[in-house]
Amino acid sequence: MKKFQKPNKLTNKIEEIEKLNFGVHIRKLTVDKTDIYLLFILHVINRDRFSRDIIEPILRWENDGALTIDKLADSIIYMDDISIDEDENNIIDYVLNGSSVIIIPSEEKYLIANTKKIEKRQSDSPEIENTLRGPKDGFTENFYGNLSLIRYRVKDVNLRIERMQIGKRSRTNVAIIYINDVANPKFVKEVRKRLENISVDGIIESGYIQKFLLNNAYDLFPQSGIISRSDKASAAILEGKVCILVEGSNLVLCIPKTFVEFFDSADDHYDNIYLGMFSKLLRILCFMIALTLSSLYVAIVAFHSDILPEQYILALASFRASVPFNALLEALLMEGMVEILREASIRLPKQIGPAIGIVGTIVIGQAAVAAGLVSPLMVIIASLSTMCSFVAPDYTIMNPIRILKFLLIFITGILGLFGFVMGMTLITINIISHNSLGVAYMTPIAPLNLRDFLNYFLSDRNVTKERPEFLNTLDKKRQ
């Protein structure tokens, strides 16, 4: 252990760090009879920059006069991101964050140089939000790279990026991004408050933050959206929303988020106005199909087959002649099989995942029909329901449907069409009762705002010249 002739708070801290032995390297340099101590963690710093921009210029320094921290910062160190601090209790935090700390034992202050090494991959085409016409650059796990993608598109001087660290042990960087003269200050204040109130050991992915943004930990429907495309995140910021960027995550959170906005795609704003309107209506229809189709099958087959024309009743009876299960068990069996195949295709490696989906859909479905376990109509219904569950650009809105459709099938199988109506009523009440940062979840449908309703479906900046009224932005006009 190092012993100093004239100990002070910094030299005592060096001895304490060396005694803790948690991986901090202490490198001693001697220049013109002045000892300089460099504190760093070898595997988290950029060693090339550290050697080239810190060690080399210090060892080459030959000027007369005493070597001080101020002189190191002003005329010797080549690093662009440096700062000076006097609180010795912050040294460990700086080192753990990837910085190098430079200490001269005779001084009360020390120098911090950002030598953090960032492992990153190239910005690839987003895997979650695919688009035909939009740009192909997506967010990666690189925190500063993601910030640069947003800065690249939003060059406004009023763009604000507030940084904080969350996680007592992980010390994860989190950024709140908004436009100061557009975003509603109440939204910014509430987001900042919720993030500051997070007390947890570590934040590994943005999904951790997303759960803390919920009004209630047991809420089923998401209240913040996820964005993997830099163009869509920039558009949300320009709209007056608040984006949250988390270090180590390739998904940006966007809040507030209403129910219908989960069905909005970037292509809707780039393509023809009528195509965008048609696509949104189609996605909402698919949402309803994914939720209700299997339940309606159970209600009709088990309780209300008389509502069908006679020829369809006979065809339905012939389909189910060899099926040993009632409609409820048949629907649960087929939907359960589909969920197993979906989960398997997600977890398997990329090379064989699609093959499992094809084999499961064609081979297993055909085999189930041939064995008489399910009717051909049930296979068609389950396949259509599954396809409809993939159309939402933000898949998080479809996750609750995977759970609710089983609940709806079960209650319909017991009470028939009455149970179906009661189940849909409960789901509707649950959706309407939600809010995102105080904004009603079903806005602009309930409460009805005709202007926002039309602006949502038109998706054309030539027509929708004002920002959504429910965001209550400081700047109301888009153009």
* pLDDT tens across the length of the chain (479 residues): 556 667 788 888 888 888 887 788 889 998 878 889 999 988 888 888 899 999 999 888 877 677 889 888 888 898 888 999 998 889 988 898 889 999 998 888 999 999 887 766 666 667 777 777 778 778 888 888 888 889 989 988 899 999 999 998 888 999 999 999 999 999 999 999 999 999 999 999 999 999 999 998 888 999 999 998 889 999 999 999 999 999 989 899 999 999 999 999 888 888 888 998 999 999 999 999 999 999 999 998 888 887 878 777 777 777 777 778 888 988 998 888 888 888 877 777 766 666 666 556 666 777 777 777 788 888 888 888 988 988 888 889 999 999 999 999 999 999 999 999 999 999 999 999 999 999 999 999 988 889 999 889 888 878 888 899 999 998 888 87
User: Torsion angle of alpha carbons 189, 191, 194, 198, nearest 10°?
Assistant: -120
The Cα 187–Cα 398 span in angstroms is: 26
* pTM score of the predicted model: 0.84
DSSP 8-state code for residue 363: I
Q: Tell me which residue of 131, 122, 73 sits closest to 102, measured CA to CA.
A: 73
**Burial of 153 by CB count in 10 Å (0-12 exposed, 13-18 middle, 19+ buried)?**
middle
The Cα 468–Cα 356 span in angstroms is: 43
Beta strands, E only, 180-269: 225-227, 242-246, 252-255
What contacts 336, CB < 8 A, 6 or more positions away?
Answer: none
CB distance 181 to 158 below 8 Å: yes
Residue 441 CA to chain centroid, in angstroms? Answer: 19
| CA distance to 100, 146, 175, 204, per residue, from 166 (Å) | 21, 18, 10, 10
